[in-house]
Copies of this chain bind each other. A is one copy, B any other.
Amino acid sequence: MTRPSDTRDRLLSAALDRIWTSSYGSVSVDDICTAAGVKKGSFYHFFPSKEELAVAACEEHWQRDLQPILDRVFHPDRAPLERLEAWCDAIYQEQKARFQASGHVPGCPFASIGSEMGTQNERLRRKVEDLLERGLFQIERTLRDAQKDGSLTVANPAAKARALHALALGLMVHAKVANDPEVLRGLREQVLEALPAPQRV
């Protein structure tokens, strides 16, 4: 017998996978149920709507897939600039692996959902905003740590964190639109160049 938590997990994984590899609008509850091997009646036992499933799938992706990577990448035992380099490398490696597996660069799933649905669905927009803020927080903390150990002097760590995060998101859009993960090979160098040199401030 399938445990309820298995059914819920399968729906979350199928939703993330289908939305990430195509788009929110192109995927129906039927598609997700088929991909998950779950009957439609069961779907509505767990989620009132596709929107609620997508919100839960984004949260699950953060906690299950991203948090462990980010804990490693942004580990305080690493020097701050090494954390930023590891973050850029992790983005490049993930997009490249997904391209090799599927033939498509999928971009950032949160940014893709936000770009598609941001003007249309407040629930999804707010969820994506929350998730992007968590990414920003990691980068801002890294910049503040760099400030403390003297490796950088950043006039406005919040604004610089946003710029570095935006650079990564924008370059993921470029890579998706060119369908070429090698576009992201330059991310690390561009992030480092966007940092103030200590002597400039």
Binding site for B on A (CB under 8 A): 21-26, 102, 104-107, 111-112, 114-120, 125, 128-129, 132, 159-160, 162-163, 165-171, 173-174, 176-179, 183, 186, 189-190, 193-194, 196-197, 200
Contact = CB atoms under 8 A, between A and B. Distances in A.
Contacts of A169: 166, 169-170, 173-174
Number of copies: 2
A115 to B, nearest CB: 4
* Candidate in A105, A171, A173 with the most chain B CB atoms within 10 angstroms: A173
A97 to B, nearest CB: 15
A125 to B, nearest CB: 6
* Candidate in A129, A170, A193, A196 with the most chain B CB atoms within 10 angstroms: A170
Contacts of A116: 23, 25, 112, 115-116
Given A22-B119, A112-B116, A116-B25, A166 B177 contact: no
Contacts of A165: 170, 174
